A and B are shown apart, each in its own frame.
Chain A
Amino acid sequence: MSTSIIPGTRRRLLRSPKFTDGLLGAAGLVTVLAVLEFSTIVGLLPEKTFPRVSADLRELAGMAGAAELWTAVGHTLQGWAISFALATVIAVLLGIAVGSNAVLYAATSAVIEFLRPIPSVALIPLVVLVLGTGLQSKVFLATFAATWPVLVATIYGMRDVEPVALETARSFRARPRDTLLSVVLPGAVPYIAPGLRVASTTALILCVTAELVIGAPGLGQSITVAQAGGQYQLMYAFIIATGLLGVLLNLLFVALEKRLLRWHPSQRSQGGVQ
């Protein structure tokens, strides 16, 4: 009897939606890669500027053992980490101040609405003049860009606290500090967490932009150097590596959000937030 359990569980595993979805996703990925590979082989895409995908991936695999790739990844990640941390601290503190004070909110909301749509890349020339072409410029640009999503999300979250919860806290004579820490802030977390995810992506984008446009060391610079040198396989390998880094950071933040918001309805029902 005991042997019949194992095929049973295996069958259940094979039929579980998670497994079939994963299989389907893998099939989609393989199909797209195969189509690209085949297009190059039959000459639909020019082999010179569009090498075979398999060659690009082999190049990437070959680089995995070399220092060049990891140094570039390290530079990019360093810029990302510093600017993300700075942006989070600045934006959350500022957001708490602005969101909990009506006068401050009135004074800043229009200014924020003016400043926020300014494309951060417009600052690149000034930043290069004042801060040079190194890590400082990269961090400044990325911090500037990544602050807005968190700031706006924090302000929204602070102002959208459930009135009943606030009144309850008031009727229990909770001190303002306790109300802020245990009623208002937790209520704002569902807003702040997606803001953090956007900020992480934005910070990475701006770091790569800075590396690409002003030549700070990192993945962006490696991509342009490979392109300028006509080493297209290397260029594609670096682009793929940059994409993988983006995917990893994304996954990290989705997991983080899930953990931070364990208690929130959007996470309890499956598939609330992708």
Chain B
Amino acid sequence: MNRRSVLLTLQIAAPILVLLGWALWSAGSTNIFYPPLTKILSVFRDTWVFDRVGSDVVPSLTNMLAGFALSIVIGVPLGILIGLVRTLRTALAPIIEFVRAIPPPALIPFGIVVLGVGTGMKVFIILMVGVFPVLMHTIDGVRGVDPGLLDSARAYRVSRRDRMLHVVLPAAAPQIFAGMRISLSLSLILMVISEMVASTRGIGYFILQAQRTFAIPEMWSGMVLLGILGYLFNLAFGTIERRALRWHHGARKGAS
């Protein structure tokens, strides 16, 4: 076996070994806080496949995806506008810097006061937080568009609408996707926090409730679920991004 395949094997084997290590270490565990992995997994199966999917997982994910989708729908056009108009950019810079610097959870009490504890508040909070990475990256991406491209499009009298759709948007796309990826992971985090602070259902509520009633294996199963969700979202987004930006990676590979 050459060195390369050894390294590849190691890369695949390492996570499995870590899991096995956890299973072995916790096998005979009597510590109430760290139940055996097998116990966690069996509780996981009983709880999440698919008993609580309708009552907790679906509402949580609906809020999260609604907030994330709104972040994109609002962040991208606003970012393009601000990125193209210099006056607007300078005028809004201090206010954007300030709102962006507020640690997101600090806005939850504000959301509760203004919108109550329902679905609207959660989507609003996720939107409030998720919109900024998309907005900032779109602004940066639009500012980085090669002026030569814009000038030639203008010289060919490409209409304003087509210039936006076929020159500015594709050129800023790699940056926009980077912003969307950050926004996606923030959305998941805010989904959990908003349910921990004020909710009667959802994954975050379930985990906190399990902890308060000392249902430790249930609590662990919820944490495992969040880990799996985080990983899957990351994976799914990576796939979408690679597909959407195939032309970009191709162009870069060709250039180097």
Contact = CB atoms under 8 A, between A and B. Distances in A.
Contact of B211 (A27, A28, A129, A242): A129
A208 B231 CA distance: 25
A242 B98 CA distance: 10
B223 A102 contact: no
A40 interface: no
A125 B207 contact: yes
A152 interface: no
B12 interface: yes
Contacts of B121: none
B94 A25 contact: yes
A213 interface: yes
B101 interface: yes
B74 interface: no
Interface in B80-135: 87, 90-95, 97-110, 112-114
B8 A117 contact: no
Interface stretch (A163-171, A173-181, A231-239): A231-239
Interface in A120-170: 120-126, 128-130
A26 interface: yes
Contacts of A108: 14
A28 B105 contact: no
A126 B33 contact: yes
- Interface SS, A side: helix
Contacts of B8: 106
Given A28-B94, A117-B233, A129-B211, A209 B105 contact: yes
Given A50-B114, A102-B7, A121 B106 contact: no
Given A29-B95, A117-B234, A110 B197 contact: no
Given A28-B93, A236-B110, A119 B98 contact: no
B94 A213 contact: no
Task: Report the contact-size class of chain A (Cβ under 8 Å from the partner).
Answer: 35 or more
B193 interface: yes
Contacts of A204: 103
A44 interface: no
Nearest to B204: A121
Given A125-B210, A235-B109, A119 B188 contact: yes
Most central of A108, A122, A224, A247 by chain B CB within 10 Å:
A122
A205 interface: yes
Given A106-B8, A106-B10, A119 B226 contact: yes
Given A122-B207, A243-B102, A107 B14 contact: yes
B103 A205 contact: yes
A251 B210 CA distance: 41
Contact of B189 (A25, A29, A32, A119): A119
Contact of A212 (B91, B106, B211, B222): B106
B99 to A, nearest CB: 7
Contact of A242 (B15, B91, B100, B103): B103
B233 to A, nearest CB: 7
B106 A208 contact: yes
8 shortest A-B CB distances, which residue pairs?
Answer: A246-B101, A28-B91, A125-B211, A227-B109, A117-B230, A243-B102, A122-B226, A208-B103
Interface of A: 21, 24-29, 31-32, 49-50, 102-103, 106-111, 114, 117-126, 128-130, 204-205, 207-209, 212-213, 219-220, 223-224, 226-227, 232, 235-236, 238-239, 242-247, 249-250, 274
12 contacts: A106-B11, A106-B14, A111-B15, A117-B233, A126-B33, A129-B211, A130-B33, A212-B106, A212-B109, A219-B106, A223-B109, A249-B101
